[in-house]
Amino acid sequence: MKTIPILMPQMGQSVAEGTIIKWRKQVGEEVAADEVLMEVESDKITVEVESPVAGRLNSILKEEGARAKVGEVVAMLETEADIHVDEPAEPPKETRSNRPHAGGDGGQVMVSVMGEDDWNGGGPRLPELTRDWLSPFVLRLAMLNNISLKELQEIRGSGQRGRVTKNDILEYLARRPLGATSIAQATGKATPTPRDVERLGQVVPMTSIRRTIADHMVQSIHTSAHVTMVHMVDMTHIVELRNRIKASFERRYGVKMSYTAVMIYVTARVLKDFPTANASVFGDNLVLRNEVNIGCAVALPDESLVVPVVKNADKHSFPEIAQELERLIKLAREKQLKRGDVEGGTFSISNFGAFGSIIGTPIIYQPQVAILGMGAIVRMPSVVNDHVVMGDRLYLSFSFDHRVIDGAQGGRFLNAIQTRTEALTEKDLGCEKL
């Protein structure tokens, strides 16, 4: 009886590994030829792996939930089938007749042809682009980011036998100097000097905070699979409510009744019903956060940005949220925020409507998985019950990490915010006695 290995199958040209999601057979059980042994999942598909021969499952080397690279042994199978396993042949002994150019004069030049397995002992291998070494996805990613052929050849791959993977490209892009390619093209030089760059225009060094923001935004784009959905919210009722009570609200609570505070109040309560939107990615795991801490982007006079956090927003009343938000904004603009004021956020809101923008696509604040953008409230005509009416409208932009949140769930989340916002009353806001 022979023992043969069961390997992780190749499930697509760009797939380098798979996850075993279920073993259909257990150790010691008999299996027929072509009977399903296990179910394997990649980032693209789920496949059933069949036994190549009849036999008995001898051992399982990778349990359910474990990952394995393509070609890696995941189990051993005992079989009585007559299976021929090729052994490496002995290289032929060199004789005068089988030497290359045997009929020529002078010394012989021997040329060795190395198999793919021979490269492992010889250090990292550069990708052979002419041999389909790069997957279509990696090539497309390189094309979209203007990565030259020379740059691709210099990237050290982390895949099998040095193959360049998607993660290798993303890590390279994160380290790549911003705008290096475009500046080189504009100057006509591969490595432009500072004087070459100065000829293009005035060179203004980035401030340290601007560099930090830039690095964070680029990292976020390369980390999360950004998707943005937009809903139009009828704010007519909220605008009328605010106009009716804003003076009394400010006299009683000492702060203005802002639309941003309204959205924080509503969003904090909706997040309790959508825990995956109030989460963080940690390695291969998703951390559903216990607290609902909503960060609010604040633009500062020096054109920088800071995101103070309203802690436990789901447990505070609307007046308390309005007071805390105004306190944080005041401290931010006076540059008096403490470290605790900007840490611990689980979700963010960006009100770019304050500058007149109607729709935007906000970038997720890592390690969060979603952000809500508020456009300007605009009075416009719309059709209601076949009649054209004037009303106040707000476009909400919801950017989320598609690795964590599917489109259907994102749509339900945004619809819940829209529904609750349009139905708000003075009683909901705790302002019925104003």
Q: Are 213 and 304 contacting, i.e. CB atoms less than 8 angstroms apart?
A: yes
For this structure, is 101 an active site residue? no
pLDDT at position 18: 84
| Choice among 216, 314, 406, 428 that is catalytic | 406
- In three-state form (DSSP H/G/I as H, E/B as E, the rest C), the secondary structure along the chain is CEEEEEECCCCCCCCCEEEEEEECCCCCCEECCCCEEEEEECCCCEEEEECCCCEEEEEECCCCCCEEECCCEEEEEEECCCCCCCCCCCCCCCCCCCCCCCCCCCCCCCCCCCCHHHHHHHCCCCCCHHHCCCCHHHHHHHHHCCCCHHHHHHCCCCCHHHCCCHHHHHHHHHHCCCCHHHHHHHHCCCCCCHHHHHCCCCCCCCCHHHHHHHHHHHHHHHHCCEEEEEEEEECHHHHHHHHHHHHHHHHHHCCCCCHHHHHHHHHHHHHCCCHHHCEEEECCEEEECCCCCEEECEECCCCCEECCEECCHHHCCHHHHHHHHHHHHHHHHCCCCCHHHHCCCCEEEECHHHHCCCCCCCCCCCCECEEEEECCCEEEEEEECCEEEEEEEEEEEEEEECCCCCHHHHHHHHHHHHHHHHCCCCCCCCCCCC
Question: What pLDDT, on a 0 to 100 scale, did the predictor assign at position 131?
Answer: 38
pLDDT at 100: 42
pLDDT at 323 over 90: yes
Q: How confident is the model at residue 208 (pLDDT cuts 50, 70, 90)?
A: low
Question: Is 401 an annotated catalytic residue?
Answer: no
CATH of region 2-79, choose from 2.60.40.10, 1.10.3720.10, 2.40.50.100, 2.30.40.10: 2.40.50.100
Is the pLDDT score of 236 beyond 70?
yes
- Given a contact cutoff of 8 angstroms between Cβ atoms, the answer to whether 403 and 368 are in contact is no
Query: Between the CA of residue 297 and those of 232, 319, 328, 365, what are the distances in Å?
Result: 21, 20, 11, 10
Q: What is the pTM of this model?
A: 0.61
pLDDT exceeds cutoff 70 at 93: no
Q: If pLDDT is split at 50, 70 and 90, which confidence band does 311 have?
A: very high
More confident residue, 29 or 101: 29
The more confident residue out of 137 and 401 is 401
- pLDDT classification of 211: cutoffs 50, 70, 90: confident
What are the domain boundaries of the chain? 2-79, 125-204, 220-422
The whole-number pLDDT of residue 432 equals 84
Buried b (16+ CB within 10 A) or exposed e, 64-99: eeeebebeeebbbbbbeeeeeeeeeeeeeeeeeeee
Tens-digit pLDDT profile for residues 267-280? 999 999 999 999 99
Residue of 84, 132, 402, 428 marked catalytic: 402
CATH topology of domain 220-422: Chloramphenicol Acetyltransferase (3.30.559)
Q: What is the mean pLDDT of residues 227-253?
A: 96
Residues in the chain: 434
The least confident of 208-212, 213-217, 218-222 is: 208-212
Contact yes or no for 308/242 (Cβ under 8 A)? no
